[in-house]
């Protein structure tokens, strides 16, 4: 009998934290000889692109439009596959777009955050009702932090006995070689921002704080890695603040990301809410000084041992950025603290705890 692994974001994401989670566990399942099949009828995700095709039901396309017709085909094929396979277990590694009919003996889901619930006014879909229906049909639920578990129980009044907190790993960049960018090392030092810049990520407050500090503007630029091309609104925002020449967007793979972490003067994570925060630990793991917003999940993950700033205060962010960037002792202290913190979070530990739930 086969374990089936599903992550709806394989269809939507080329890169990203929730697909990183899946691929990191899948890599260890292959090494462990676990009997499994990835159900990803149509996918563009880079992380699973190079996995032996015998493990995948689906085909890879480098690019395609995110239109309802393609999503319908993808979900129909997924439903067909799950209905006709003899399955021991199905693990939804991210919320399915709908709950397929299937005859698996056991159902597990991983909940990465409660962003839709926390920021419901931002989303137009009926997410709460769909997630409640899905959660009620699960035998086990994995949450990536105690804070995510607390929020989930609060929103859905769930039986806590079937909820398991299993932290993500963050050591995937360690063995990776880097792809250098010689232009970067010869230009002005930079503050690094990684990933999505959507509203709850608090990116605008970071940019506004940077602009308010003449010292930062004069001595440092900003590099945004990933997160897609700058939108027209973002470009207009940079122009309005007259800092367009100070901000650069870089796209690339993990080898390039590792290089940018290693050469950054500071990595900033200003988010208003997260389920976990893999990027913080990625940065710490490779020796990048890191400054994060003061929110409960970061206090939990980082054990109150690094520098935090109020996510609603330009002044507090400016104070902390300057305290780190213009004081080498503070910067070196952050790097040392980060190394210790990040070593706690390994994908091997995440895998070992997850696989116990499969039995």
Lay out the sheet containing 290-293: strands in order across.
247-250, 221-225, 190-194, 266-269, 290-293, 307-309
Domain-embedded: residue 206: yes
Considering the domain architecture, whether residues 212 and 71 belong to the same structural domain is answered as: no
- Structure tokens, 199: 């509203």
Task: Say yes or no: 133 and 229 in one domain.
Answer: no
**How many domains does the chain fold into?**
2
Structural domain contains residue 173: no
**Of the given ranges (9-23, 141-155, 204-218, 289-303), which has the lowest mean pLDDT?**
9-23
Residues 191, 273 within the same domain? yes
Average pLDDT over residues 197-211: 96
Same domain (yes/no): 221, 134: no
In this structure, the answer to whether residues 6 and 148 fall within a common structural domain is yes
> How far is residue 16 from each of residues 64, 239, 253, measured CA to CA in Å?
17, 28, 11
Looking at the predicted structure, is the pLDDT value of residue 84 above 90? no
Q: What is the pTM of this model?
A: 0.93
Same domain, 218 and 324: yes
129 domain residue, yes or no: yes
- 319 pLDDT exceeds 90? yes
User: Is 90 exceeded by the pLDDT of residue 221?
Assistant: yes
Q: Mean pLDDT for the chain? A: 93
Q: How confident is the model at residue 17 (pLDDT cuts 50, 70, 90)?
A: confident
Mean pLDDT of 187-196: 94
CA atoms within 13 A on the CB side of 61: 13
One domain for residues 158 and 259: no
Contacts of 201 (CB under 8 A, 6+ apart): 195, 270, 271, 272
What CATH number does the domain containing 131 carry?
A: 3.40.50.2000
- The domain of 204 spans 182-342
| Residue range 152-178, pLDDT digits in tens | 999 998 989 999 999 999 999 988 888
Inform me whether the pLDDT recorded for 1 exceeds 70: no
In a domain, 175, yes or no: no
Give the model confidence (pLDDT) of 246-291 as tens digits.
999 999 889 999 999 999 999 999 999 999 999 999 999 999 999 9
For residue 85, the model assigns a pLDDT of: 60
Residue 103 lies in a domain: yes
Give yes or no: residues 46 and 147 share one domain: yes
For residues 242 and 338, membership in a common domain is answered with yes
- For residues 304 and 324, membership in a common domain is answered with yes
Q: Is 66 within a domain? A: yes
The reply to whether 59 and 164 lie within a common domain is yes
Q: How far is CA 353 from CA 24, 47, 160, 268, 281, in A?
A: 13, 22, 17, 30, 19
Note whether residue 265 is domain-resident: yes
State whether 238 and 291 are in the same domain. yes
Please count the CA atoms within 13 angstroms of the CA of 345 that sit on its side-chain side. 30
Report how far residue 212's alpha carbon sits from residue 317's, in angstroms, rounded to the nearest whole number: 10
Percent of the chain scoring above 70 in pLDDT = 97
Domain-located, residue 174: no
User: What are 127-138's pLDDT values in tens digits?
Assistant: 888 899 999 999
Q: pLDDT confidence of 179, banded at 50, 70, 90?
A: confident
């Amino acid at each position: 009998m086969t374990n089936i692994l599903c992550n709806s974001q394989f269809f939507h994401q080329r890169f990203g934290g929730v697909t990183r989670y899946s691929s990191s566990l899948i890599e260890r399942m292959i090494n462990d000889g676990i009997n499994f099949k990835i159900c990803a009828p149509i996918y563009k995700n880079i992380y699973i692109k190079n996995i032996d095709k015998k493990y995948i039901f689906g085909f890879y396309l480098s690019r395609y439009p995110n239109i309802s017709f393609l999503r319908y085909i993808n979900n129909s094929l997924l439903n067909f596959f799950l209905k006709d396979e003899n399955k021991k277990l199905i693990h939804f590694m991210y919320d399915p777009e709908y709950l397929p009919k299937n005859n698996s003996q056991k159902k597990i889901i991983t909940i990465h955050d409660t962003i839709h619930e926390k920021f419901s006014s931002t989303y137009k879909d009926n997410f709460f009702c769909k997630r409640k229906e899905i959660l009620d049909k699960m035998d086990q639920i994995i949450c990536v932090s105690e804070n995510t578990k607390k929020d989930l129980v609060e929103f859905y009044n769930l039986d806590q006995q079937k909820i398991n907190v299993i932290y993500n790993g963050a050591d995937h960049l360690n063995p990776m070689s880097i792809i250098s960018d010689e232009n970067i090392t010869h230009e002005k030092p930079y503050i690094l921002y990684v990933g999505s810049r959507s509203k709850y990520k608090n990116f605008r407050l970071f940019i506004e704080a940077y602009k308010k500090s003449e010292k930062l503007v004069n001595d440092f630029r900003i590099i945004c890695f990933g997160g897609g091309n700058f939108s027209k609104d973002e470009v207009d925002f940079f122009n309005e603040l007259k800092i367009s020449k100070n901000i650069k967007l870089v796209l690339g793979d993990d080898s390039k990301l590792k290089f940018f972490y290693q050469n950054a003067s500071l990595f900033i994570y200003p988010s208003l809410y997260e389920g976990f925060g893999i990027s913080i630990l990625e940065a710490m793991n490779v020796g990048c000084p890191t400054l994060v917003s003061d929110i409960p999940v970061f206090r939990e993950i980082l054990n109150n041992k690094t520098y935090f700033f109020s996510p609603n205060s330009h002044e507090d962010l400016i104070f902390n950025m300057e305290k780190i960037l213009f004081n080498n002792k503070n910067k070196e202290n952050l790097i040392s603290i980060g190394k210790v913190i990040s070593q706690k979070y390994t994908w091997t530990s995440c895998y070992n705890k997850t696989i116990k739930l499969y039995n």
